[in-house]
Amino acid sequence: MDFSVPESLRSLRKSLRQLVETELKRHDSAIEESGQIPPQSLDAIRAFGLYGSNTPKRYGRLGLDMLGNCFAIEEMARAHIAYFYTYSMNVHIAAKGIELHGSEAQCQRGCRALRAGI
């Protein structure tokens, strides 16, 4: 069995790490002091497309598979666990059930906004 990481995911992980190092980690102290994630950090996560990390590419999102999403969670959690909570709750739990078992109208009303994080 081949356990090597595909080049596309290695490249993604490199980009994620850069996002974490340049945009997220520097707010660690602010999160600890205020108890809140600064809005500019969430903007950076949105701009990267992570709010739609497991949404198919045909909807204009990243369309990452399970391994790719694990990389996203792992890298963001290196900065601060609060990023994991906020991002993962939106993308992997709150939106997924609606996407898989909701009607088209329910997805239109809620799912797409959750995926976009706006």
Partner 1 sequence: MTGCYALTEEGAGSDAAALQTTAIRSDDSYVLNGAKGYITNAPVADLFTIFAAHPDDGAKPKISAFVVHRGAPGLRIGKIIPMAGGRGAFHSELFFENLTIPVENRPRQGRGWLCYRHSMS
Backbone dihedral region of 103: left (phi > 0), alpha (psi from -120 to 50 degrees) or beta? beta
- The least distance separating partner 1 from the CB of residue 54, rounded to whole angstroms, comes to 11
Select 62 or 82, whichever has its Cβ closest to partner 1. Answer: 82
- The least distance separating partner 1 from the CB of residue 83, rounded to whole angstroms, comes to 8
Give the position of tokens 């950076």. Answer: 44
Using CB under 8 A, list all residues that contact partner 1: 31-32, 35-37, 80-83, 85-86, 89-90, 92-98, 100-103, 105-106, 109-110, 113-114, 116-118
Structure letter (DSSP) for residue 103: -
- The least distance separating partner 1 from the CB of residue 81, rounded to whole angstroms, comes to 6
Q: How many CB atoms lie under 10 A from the CB of residue 10? A: 12
Select 71 or 83, whichever has its Cβ closest to partner 1. Answer: 83
Select 4 or 65, whichever has its Cβ closest to partner 1. Answer: 65
4, exposed or middle or buried, with CB in 10 Å at 0-12, 13-18, 19+? exposed
- The least distance separating partner 1 from the CB of residue 35, rounded to whole angstroms, comes to 6
Q: Write out the DSSP string of 23-55.
A: IIGGGHHHHHHHSS--HHHHHHHHHHTGGGTTS
Select 3 or 39, whichever has its Cβ closest to partner 1. Answer: 39
